[in-house]
Amino acid sequence: MPVTVVVGAQWGDEGKAKVIDLLSKDHGYVVRYQGGHNAGHTVVVGDERYALQLIPSGILYDHVVPVIANGVVVDMPTLFTEMDALERRGISCERLMVSSHAHLIFPWHQAWDALAEAGRGEAKIGTTLKGIGPAYADKARRVGLRAGDVLDPTSFAAALKERAAVENALLVASGGASIDVDAIVAQFVVFAARLAPYVRDTVSELHEALAAGHQLLLEGAQATFLDLDHGTYPYVTSSNPTAGGACVGTGLGPRDIDRIVGITKAYTTRVGAGPFPTELVGDPGGDLGDKLVDIGREFGTVTGRRRRPGWIDCVMLRQAVRLNSLTELALTKLDVFDTFESVKVCTGYRLGDSVLANYPDRMELLADVEPIYAEFPGWNRSLADIREPNDLPMEAQDFVRLIEMEVGVPIRIVGVGAERDDYLLWS
């Protein structure tokens, strides 16, 4: 299949990077299509743990061309820190391409992110404070600087100076701390010179790669329910992680895409605020939630925050199938339940006296729904070494089968551990 999209089906951190690493074996190009360094994508190879924020997870293979496409917002300091760290570990970043249309993040974006969060009082979104929302806002306001702008150093320096001065004045007028305009200009002119050799017309590069017979893997960051249009607004990110965003964010057309893989954990997590119907809170739920967080190591790669834990939610996943045209699911972290007495799957939502037919379109409704659960006995053994579906304990097979039936698309990959090879092909 020439073009495959990998998209998070929940609220992020589903294990997208591990699945992308696995699929990268068969792909010539791995392309990030939205988001920025708010993402934290972890790949474990033997004793090595790679935590990537901006660079596509396919970078670990020599044959892969990693591409940061137009839909991404690029924080140059993070990009270079990440490149240097990879190079130190023997992974070359020479073949990286950055779209000339990708927007750049600057320190004022982070300052605005912090100011906006502070201004929200109790109603904080819980952003990563990386400046993602303000950078996309500048893109929409048509005042952003793009990667292609660095190719003309003189006009880039002038535009940078002007933008920094304007933003500084606005920040101060809004009660924010001032930014050091001269220091930012001096620093970012140097970053710009370093970025220039990587800047490309990635739309042409990708279409030519496709025409030459290469397979492309489009890597989503964040997830379906953090999507600016379709997620739990305003508790969302400022881009479109859903599969449609893969077209907009790369310049490939909808008909170029063949396979769309939704990634879900065997349970659900969410970082930051917002409604979460199947969240495990309070006793005895609190203990089970803590157990999930401990065993699943559910702490953010980027911010170190504890992720909120809960049961898997098939109502969400059915909506994810619709929103993304998912052709299949990958179910990760099944092994996290190895020591659980019992496990639950949410199959529907009750609201008052009725069972909802669709995912609620309004956040207030989502906050009020009551999940309907199917409960399974646990399997009480380690899944780590299992590589064949038939070798899974019956209880685990029943659990996977119910999810597959409820969601209505085949599950292809099941994760049974964090390492690269800890998975089995279910169907």
Q: Active-site positions?
A: 13, 41
CB of 77 to ligand IMO, least distance (A): 16
* 40 binds Mg ion per the rule CB under 5 A: yes
Tell me if 159 sits within 8 A of 146, measured CB to CB.
no
Residue 330 and residue 320: Cα distance in Å, rounded?
A: 13
Q: For residues 5 and 199, which CB has a smaller minimum distance to ligand GDP in the complex?
A: 5
Q: Which of ligand IMO, Mg ion, ligand GDP, none binds 293 (CB below 5-8 Å, type-dependent)?
A: none
* 130 binds ligand GDP per the rule CB under 6 A: no
Q: For residues 81 and 303, which CB has a smaller minimum distance to Mg ion in the complex?
A: 303
What character string, x for contact with ligand IMO (CB under 6 A) and - otherwise, covers 202-231?
-------------------xxx--x-----
- Pick from 317, 426, 417: nearest CA to 18: 417
Q: Which of ligand IMO, Mg ion, ligand GDP, none binds 271 (CB below 5-8 Å, type-dependent)?
A: ligand IMO
Which residues share a beta bridge with 52? 41
Binding residues for ligand GDP, rule CB under 6 A, total: 22
Give, rounded to a whole angstrom, the gap between the first and last alpha carbons of the chain. 17
Q: Which of ligand GDP, Mg ion, ligand IMO, none binds 415 (CB below 5-8 Å, type-dependent)?
A: ligand GDP
Residue 241 and residue 230: Cα distance in Å, rounded?
A: 10
Residue 34 and residue 15: Cα distance in Å, rounded?
A: 17
Q: Which of ligand GDP, Mg ion, ligand IMO, none binds 185 (CB below 5-8 Å, type-dependent)?
A: none
* 44 binds ligand GDP per the rule CB under 6 A: yes
* 13 binds Mg ion per the rule CB under 5 A: yes
Burial status of residue 424 (CB atoms within 10 A of its CB: 0-12, 13-18, 19 or more) = middle
Residue list 223-282, contact with ligand IMO (CB under 6 A): 223, 226, 235, 237-238, 271-272
CB of 10 to Mg ion, least distance (A): 11
Residue 81 and residue 389: Cα distance in Å, rounded?
A: 41
Instruction: Pick one of 7, 9, 10, 13: the residue that binds ligand GDP (CB under 6 A).
Output: 13
Residue 305 and residue 330: Cα distance in Å, rounded?
A: 25
Query: Tokens at residue 279, please?
Result: 């969240």
- Pick from 208, 292, 206, 319: nearest CA to 252: 206
Residue list 334-363, contact with ligand GDP (CB under 6 A): 335-336
Per DSSP, the residues of 173-225 read HTTPPP--HHHHHHHHHHHHHHHGGGEE-HHHHHHHHHHTT--EEEE--S-GG
Binding residues for ligand IMO, rule CB under 6 A, total: 23
Residues lying near ligand IMO in the complex (CB under 6 A): 8, 12-13, 38-41, 125-128, 130, 132-133, 221-223, 226, 235, 237-238, 271-272
